[in-house]
A and B are shown apart, each in its own frame.
Chain A
Amino acid sequence: MKKKPVKPKISRVAPYSSAHKKYLQKQRNDKIFVLIMQIMLLVLAIGLWELLAVTNVVDPFFVSSPSRIFKMFVSLVASGTIWKHVGITLLETIIGFLIATFGGTLIAILLWWNQKLRRILEPYIVVLNSLPKIALGPIIILWFGSGMSAIVVMCILITIVLTTISMLNAFNSCDADKIQLLKSMHANKFQIFWKLILPNATDEFISVLKINVGMSWVGTIMGEYLSSSAGLGFLIVYGSQIFKIDLVMTSTVLLCLLAALMYMAVCLIEKIHSR
């Protein structure tokens, strides 16, 4: 019984037998195959798009083309304006994301702590959750002006309610026997929360983080559509108004990349946590 605990690790070094070697080889081949197919799919899509646009099968005025997007990107970088737009949208999203995630969790803590308060507020939370937040757009602009703060508020509104609901659910679904165990050790409420309820909800918190990355982008872009003078959402709306489809497409592609990057950052946090 006196053995060092061995962590199950995928061996990258010595294969144990020829069968194992074969298995590892197959795994590696499969991985490479999937990657190649993914890249090919992208190249194919871009190539087809370019081809259709160049041969005028589709009108580049309406659908743009990869080369036009690239040219637009280069000119935006050259003029330096793109960084301002990217920066503003990114800032709005990150601020909204952070406030919504931590604020929502904080509210959930409050509601867990005071179950009576939770019961009182429950119907309002349900209504808030089912309300399409975009409907509040005009009110937000009236109250917060038409600048960055209105956009951040939009982003928070979209993200925060679900954060509170999910975290509260996670807090409340803690194993009752574990709570009893701590009570039998004479733990107070704060200790029960700090030692059990909160760490028990980390998995849920990480999945909330992942969902919130997506939600906060939705919130920010929606806010920028409503009213803004800068940002990627602004560029998209502006581009469509002046029929510069290249600008619209370029901004959209950038948006995809940024959202993916932020999602990957959260995945990284998850990886570090699960180690």
Chain B
Amino acid sequence: MSKLLSFKDVNFFYQTKAEEIQALKDLSFDIDYQEFASIVGPSGCGKTTILSLIAGLLEKSSGEILLDGKPIQKNDSRIGYMFQRDQLFEWRTIWQNVTLSIEISKPKNADQKKELAKELLKKYDLYDFISSKPRALSGGMRQRVALIRTLVMEPSLLLLDEPFSALDFQTRLNVCDDVYGIIKNEKKTAILVTHDISEALSMSNKVIVLSSRPASVKHVQILNLNGETPLSRREAPNFGELFDLIWKTLTNEKETC
């Protein structure tokens, strides 16, 4: 496996009237092709900031962010960003939501992308709902629509910012399985930001543990849990041990929030 994304000594400061807030401090990590990496860290430590930097929504203050070995560009269409909560547009139908990015970037192969959208909707049991409005769908279905909306542009790197936090526990387990399956099926690289250690363990092959703000990497844990799906991995014998390890790394600092 080789590197798709790498952060090298990245620093980032938010400028506010009152002060300069350092969100990231000498942050370095690598993400390999087709890897599923999770980022966990105390709340407010800078996780969303990391994703925003990758997506080009923010500009780093110093350091290097490389995608495929080259400095990351604004407007890179290889990156798909899935936000906390589904952020579906209520006044649009499911179809119009899913094809939003096509409408916006008007790619030359728009027809082909629309075909892909149709295929994905069919594959993941949403095709019957294409002319419904989002409010007719359950939380889990909405989340899948949001994921398909992100996949339609065929990004090579998916950024998932706590995509499941708005769901209740039961739905969450199922949607995790669904989303994981879709991402693996479509052979994508993904970075998942989450508060939930067990979610990180069950979905990824690597967990990056961050310190509290300013975020720097405290620990990187490579995982090899037995199990095909996130749900089955939760049953793996060393799951609890790993959970404790990550929990301890996360909390063994005084200033956690």
Interface residues of A (CB under 8 A from B): 1-5, 7, 175, 177-178, 180-187, 191, 195-196, 199-200, 202
Q: Are B128 and A184 in contact (CB under 8 A)?
A: no
B91 at the interface (CB under 8 A from A): yes
- Given the known A-B contacts A180-B57, A180-B83, A184-B81, are A191 and B104 also in contact in the complex, defined by CB atoms under 8 Å? yes
Q: Are B125 and A178 in contact (CB under 8 A)?
A: no
- Given the known A-B contacts A3-B128, A186-B75, A191-B104, are A177 and B85 also in contact in the complex, defined by CB atoms under 8 Å? yes
Nearest-Cβ distance from residue A6 to partner chain B, whole angstroms: 8
Q: Are B91 and A185 in contact (CB under 8 A)?
A: no
Q: Are A186 and B105 in contact (CB under 8 A)?
A: yes
Could you say which residues of chain A place their CB within 8 Å of the CB of B92? 199
Q: Are B81 and A181 in contact (CB under 8 A)?
A: yes
User: Within residues 31 to 61 of chain B, which ones have a CB less than 8 A from any CB in chain A?
Assistant: 52, 55-57
B101 at the interface (CB under 8 A from A): yes
Q: Are A195 and B136 in contact (CB under 8 A)?
A: no
Which of A3, A5, A178 is in CB contact (< 8 Å) with B87? A178
Nearest-Cβ distance from residue A77 to partner chain B, whole angstroms: 45
Nearest-Cβ distance from residue A82 to partner chain B, whole angstroms: 43
Determine the main DSSP class of B at the interface with A: loop
Q: Are B87 and A177 in contact (CB under 8 A)?
A: yes
Could you say which residues of chain B place their CB within 8 Å of the CB of A181? 81, 83, 87
Which of B84, B104, B136 is in CB contact (< 8 Å) with A177? B84
Bound: A20/B78 CA distance, A: 55
Nearest-Cβ distance from residue A56 to partner chain B, whole angstroms: 61
B220 at the interface (CB under 8 A from A): no
Closest to A8 in B: B136
Bound: A1/B137 CA distance, A: 11
A-B contact pairs, 23 of them (CB 8 A): A2-B128, A5-B128, A5-B132, A5-B136, A5-B137, A177-B83, A177-B84, A177-B87, A180-B57, A180-B81, A181-B83, A181-B87, A182-B104, A183-B57, A184-B55, A184-B81, A185-B100, A185-B104, A185-B105, A186-B75, A191-B104, A195-B89, A196-B89
Q: Are B132 and A199 in contact (CB under 8 A)?
A: no
Could you say which residues of chain B place their CB within 8 Å of the CB of A195? 89, 100, 103-104
Nearest-Cβ distance from residue A275 to partner chain B, whole angstroms: 11
